[in-house]
């Protein structure tokens, strides 16, 4: 396998991609990834339909049950959900995919299987520009959503029928519109280095020379104004949008919560919390709230899910057995039969000095076999 320097690859292609984006004025979405999963599975019909009441029209429902108008392969409809980190940073990492989640819905089994892809997975992209290697979270910024979908299909060994791209801001607004969600926090933890948005380039009163002499210090000691401390206690609690966002974004929590694996698990927990709130009678009968959600979502979601497929998703969601929702995170620390099929290479110089994860089998064959067994419940 041939490797290239990550920094140079991303920098060169990202600059070109940014110019193309400015030219095409592509519309990007806005709600974090796990919230959109709830929308796709449970509320797309409510949020995107021109007429909410039309969804409950008996004639419309019967006709869509006969033909829900959704793509599928082997009886499953698959969605790739992409969460963008669009924060302004000194090195402009504003369009990296912060989270990648693959959701497969069984049309016959009426179940859902979710697979979280680690952002540090090392992949080969193409998009007609020649092959180049990078972390999977940079593919969107460098080569666009179509290439990221292709790469995800190559990694997973499964087709992706639909995608949805979202970011942080709408997540907070939507949770607040719902009146907050009840989240069952599995582990208490404290994160002393939660980044404050908008302060990423703040020198906190220090000069560049002073900062250069502080090698070896932790980030919060060098830049105390860039971080805040967040903490969560174990147990069920109501979270507003801001609190929920901190809960799922925290990367350096104590008590085992400082890994991407733990973070992905928290995201999947919030999915179920949102599902519960969206399907509550309180939400379903509140037409003004539904209208507000529609307005919030309509202008901030980039997806290839068309209006003709909206009711199909809504009707399918009514038949899903949510007690059978299963989820895994591909990582380098779990047992092989629990998704631990990746590892961190010892020689980081082959990857531009970056922390990356690669398949233990040196190709995707092991991943393909595992994911197929997992998705189809074999």
Q: Is the pLDDT of residue 294 over 50?
A: yes
| Average pLDDT in the chain | 77
Given a contact cutoff of 8 angstroms between Cβ atoms, the answer to whether 128 and 143 are in contact is no
**Rounded average pLDDT over 170-184:** 87
Spatial distance between the Cα atoms of 299 and 308, rounded to a whole number of angstroms: 18
Select the more confidently predicted residue: 36 or 276.
276
**β-strands 302-303, 235-239 pairing:** unpaired
Domains in the chain (CATH in brackets) are: 6-183+274-368 (3.30.420.590)
Q: Is the pLDDT of residue 207 over 60?
A: yes
Highest mean pLDDT out of 116-130, 251-265, 362-376: 362-376
Instruction: Tell me the residue length of the chain.
Output: 378
Q: Is the pLDDT of residue 155 over 90?
A: yes
62, burial (CB in 10 Å: exposed 0-12, middle 13-18, buried 19+): exposed
Predicted pLDDT of residue 299? 65
Predicted pLDDT of residue 82? 87
From the list 361, 311, 319, the residue with the least C-alpha distance to 336 is: 361
Q: Is the pLDDT of residue 30 over 60?
A: no
Spatial distance between the Cα atoms of 142 and 217, rounded to a whole number of angstroms: 32
Q: Is the pLDDT of residue 41 over 60?
A: no
């Amino acid at each position: 396998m041939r490797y290239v320097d990550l920094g140079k690859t991303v920098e060169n292609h990202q600059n070109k991609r940014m110019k193309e984006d400015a030219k095409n004025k592509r519309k990007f979405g806005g709600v974090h990834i796990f919230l959109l999963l709830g929308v796709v599975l449970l509320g797309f019909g409510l949020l995107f339909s021109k007429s909410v009441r039309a969804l409950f029209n008996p004639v419309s429902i019967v006709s869509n049950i006969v033909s829900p108008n959704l793509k599928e392969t082997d009886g499953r409809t698959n969605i790739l959900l992409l969460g963008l980190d669009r924060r302004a940073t000194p090195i402009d990492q504003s369009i990296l995919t912060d989270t990648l989640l693959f959701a497969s819905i069984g049309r016959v089994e009426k179940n859902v299987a979710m697979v979280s892809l680690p952002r540090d997975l090392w992949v080969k992209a193409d998009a007609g520009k020649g092959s180049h290697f990078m972390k999977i979270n940079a593919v969107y910024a460098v080569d666009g959503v179509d290439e990221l979908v292709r790469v995800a299909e190559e990694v997973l060994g499964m087709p992706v029928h639909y995608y949805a791209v979202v970011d942080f801001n709408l997540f907070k607004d939507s949770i607040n519109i719902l009146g907050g969600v009840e989240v069952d926090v599995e582990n208490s933890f404290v994160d002393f280095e939660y980044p404050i948005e908008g302060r990423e380039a703040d020198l906190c009163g220090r000069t560049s020379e002073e900062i250069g002499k502080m090698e070896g210090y932790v980030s919060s000691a060098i830049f105390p104004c860039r971080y805040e401390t967040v903490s969560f206690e174990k147990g069920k609690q109501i979270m507003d949008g801001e609190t929920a966002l901190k809960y799922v974004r925290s990367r350096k929590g104590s008590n085992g919560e400082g890994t991407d694996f733990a973070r992905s698990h928290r995201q999947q927990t919030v999915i179920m919390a949102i599902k519960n709130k969206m399907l509550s009678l309180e939400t379903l009968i509140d037409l003004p709230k539904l209208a507000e959600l529609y307005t919030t979502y309509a202008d901030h979601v980039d997806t290839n899910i068309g209006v003709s497929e909206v009711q199909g998703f809504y009707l399918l969601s009514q038949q899903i057995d949510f007690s059978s929702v299963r989820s895994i995170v591909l990582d380098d620390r779990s047992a092989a039969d629990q998704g631990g099929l990746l590892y961190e290479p010892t020689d980081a110089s082959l990857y531009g000095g970056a922390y990356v994860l690669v398949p233990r089998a040196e190709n995707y064959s092991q991943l393909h076999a595992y994911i197929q067994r997992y998705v189809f419940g074999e």
